[in-house]
Chain A
Amino acid sequence: MSFDLSNKKGLTRRKVLVGGAATMSVLAAPAYLRKATAATPIKIGIPTVITGGYAVLGSHVMRTAKLVEKMRNASGGVLGRPIEFIYKDTKGEPADCVRKCQELVERDDCRIFTGVVVSSEARAIMPKLEEWDAFFISHGNGDGRLTAEFYVDNFFRANTSAPMGARALALYLKDAEQKNFYAIGSDYAWGHSSVESFEAQITKVGKNMSGTVFAPVGNKDYSTYITKILQSGAEGCYVALQGDEGRAFYSQAQQYGLSDRVQMVTEIVSQANIRALGDDSVGLVGGSRYPFTYENEANKNFLSAFQAEYDGEIPDWTDGEMYQALDILFKAMENADSDETKKIVAAMEGLEVDSVKGKTLMRECDHQGENQGFVVRVSDMGGSEPVPEILKIYPREMITPDCRSTSYSS
């Protein structure tokens, strides 16, 4: 059996019309697809702590992300596309954080991360970034080693690190009357990094360390540690405890009268702690990663938008740093004209932004953001709650450590 497959008829009018329509469709297709891409949101993963001991920090991350999403999308989004945040609960556990990020990559096709709360979580996902072709900008991870010995290309840190906070405080304490200091830290990456940095810095400015101690994560009774601090004869106590641990320590230190005998200094002064501790927090001196009382145009805008959205509430340091990280991320994406990892990395290196904390430079050599250093004292300024009063601002060059290092040569 045979079939005649040849087209014996010539071109008809109908065939020309059909062919023309098909050609037009093919030519028009890229424009149509471009339109679909423009409407496709840019996904940003927020693997943060929604439940667990650091849930307060996670809640601050999310409320600022929601505010930014609202503000940005109202003004046309980023690269002409809306932004969409995808929240995942890591519970503050490194293994969970890796799993949630993997989900973001594989299930949601999301390759930009921020909002990771705990430094050890950040440390856990960093080696996977290249494999995932993902970009991660830290809003608040303090462990100095993240931009030093653990450096990876696809990671940037917009925030003040633990060594930077300790440096600002050490510079301030150089002229203080206290000579001997004791340090207490949380027994995990950030706590160790913060205490070690403070120890190195404070001895450099001619003060002595009477001792250091690390309390287990989740510890609630600090009576033994307070006794040790009292016995040490120290005149100042450096506290690297955050969240629930920090509040428990300050409350109990106040009850023991430790705060009356020893000047408490801390790397991070947190508004959530101030609010919970009330008058017990007044007098606390510390570094501030984001003092909401700082005056510049960017912070004025953020503060008014935040307070309008959240019934006049005072933004905490996590809010300010999250806002800053997202601001820097969007500037880099706009400069790169892309949301691809490699292009964002290239645009981020050397980027300078007028942030809520002044001019911030994303250093090329180790991807650490150069931030000004703030030292504050918790004061009762007659408002509804005590607030951090800025005592001193140090230029970013003095505060940022040597490249890919946690120490300072000068």
Chain B
Amino acid sequence: MLGAYIGYTVAIYTGSFFLALIIAPILVACFGIVFEKLLLSPLYKRQDGGAYLMVTFGLAVILAEAIKLTWGADPKGVQIPEMLRGIVIVFDFPFPKYRVFLIIIGVLMALSAWLFLEKTRIGLLIRAVSQNPQMVNALGTNVVFIRNLVFAIGCGLAGMGGVLAAPMVTAFLGMGSSVIIDAFVIVIIGGMGSFLGSIIGSLLVAFVLVFGAYYVPDLALAIIYLLMLIILIVRPGGLLGKEE
């Protein structure tokens, strides 16, 4: 949500959507770094998942109110750049150029994230920290920096998602909360801690939503939860996750 609003402001002042697409994620990432340093890092020693949940939820509420005070309650429209306006014809049906752009960006970002996590040294360290931070720390790696970096990247990607979503749904209060449930379902279906699982989960959820809305619109939302339920029964750890 913050990304969408910052993107809106940058687009208004600079007249460039692409500049907004660069600046907003950087600013949101910086915000993420500060938040992680000030509020999350003191909680790491407590090993209490509930504390993270409460702090991040509290921040989301404060952030929503801060956005309301800064930008007002009315929604903000972000215009698509001229070169991404219009349609292409796919199987005799119009398909917006902007959605083609979103698909390309989505694939590129997923591929980049996968390469970063799987093929770089820092990606290896991130995976190691997620599994055993004490051991990584004992081996001389700066775990604090790794955690800060991961949080910044996550916030930056969320910021980019906000900027990209704004022309489709406009920037509005509460746009972040509507994504949380979908993200939760995707991670559960894909399996906690599995990057590939999340990608498969997101594609599955998207397919079920689209086909559900087409063939059984009244049950479109229920079907994704049904899918999650079936997967949890068959594979309690998710499609590619490990059972605890």
A: residues with CB less than 8 A from B are 51-53, 55-56, 58-59, 187, 213-216, 218, 220-221, 223-225, 227-228, 230, 244, 247-248, 251-252, 255-257, 272-273, 275-278, 280
B106 interface residue (CB < 8 Å to A): no
Interface residues of B (CB under 8 A from A): 64, 68, 72-77, 79-80, 85-87, 93-96, 98-99, 165, 167-170, 172-175, 178, 209-210, 213-214, 217-218, 220-221
Looking at chain B's contact residues, the main secondary structure is mixed
A228: B residues at CB distance < 8 A: 214
A187 CA to B221 CA, complexed, in Å? 11
Option from A51, A58, A220, A276 in Cβ contact (under 8 Å) with B76:
A276
Extra 19 A-B pairs, beta carbons < 8 Å, given A58-B73, A221-B210: A51-B64, A55-B68, A55-B73, A187-B218, A214-B217, A220-B165, A224-B209, A224-B210, A224-B213, A244-B170, A247-B75, A247-B169, A248-B169, A251-B167, A251-B168, A252-B168, A255-B96, A255-B168, A272-B75
> Is B98 in contact with A255, judged by CB distance below 8 angstroms?
yes
Q: Which residues of A contact B75 (CB under 8 A)?
A: 56, 244, 247, 272-273, 275-276
User: Which of A255, A257, A275, A277 lies in contact with B99, CB distance below 8 A?
Assistant: A255
Alpha-carbon separation in the docked complex, A248 to B76 (Å): 12
Question: What residues of chain A lie closer than 8 Å to B72, measured between beta carbons?
Answer: 59
Note all chain A residues with C-beta closer than 8 A to B95.
Answer: 256
Residue in B86, B168, B170, B210 whose CB lies within 8 Å of A276 = B170
Q: Which residues of B contact A280 (CB under 8 A)?
A: 77
29 contacts between A and B (CB under 8 A): A51-B64, A55-B68, A55-B73, A58-B73, A59-B73, A187-B218, A216-B220, A220-B168, A220-B169, A221-B168, A221-B209, A224-B213, A224-B214, A225-B213, A225-B217, A230-B94, A244-B174, A247-B170, A251-B77, A251-B170, A255-B85, A255-B98, A255-B99, A255-B168, A272-B74, A273-B75, A276-B170, A277-B170, A278-B77
Q: Are A275 and B87 in contact (CB under 8 A)?
A: no
A52 — which chain B residues lie within 8 A by C-beta?
A: 174
Residue of A nearest to B217 (CB): A213
- Evaluate contact between B73 and A56: CB separation under 8 angstroms: yes
A214, B218: Cβ atoms closer than 8 Å: yes
Q: How far is the CA of A213 from the CA of B76 in the complex (A)?
A: 27
Chain A residue, CB-CB nearest to B221? A216
Is A278 within 8 A of B99, CB to CB? no
Cβ-neighbour of A215 out of B74, B99, B168, B213 (below 8 A): B213
- For the complex, what is the distance from the CA of A167 to the CA of B80, rounded to whole Å? 35
Select one of B74, B169, B209, B217 contacting A251, CB under 8 A: B169
Docked Cα-Cα span, A256 to B167, in Å, equals 13
A223-B173 in contact given A216-B220, A255-B99, A276-B75 (Cβ < 8 Å): no
Q: Which residues of B contact A255 (CB under 8 A)?
A: 80, 85, 87, 96, 98-99, 167-168
Task: Enumerate chain B residues within 8 angstroms of A272, measured Cβ to Cβ.
Answer: 74-75
Q: A223-B210, A257-B87 are in contact. Are A275 and B74 (CB under 8 A)?
A: yes
C-alpha spacing A213/B23, complex, angstroms = 39
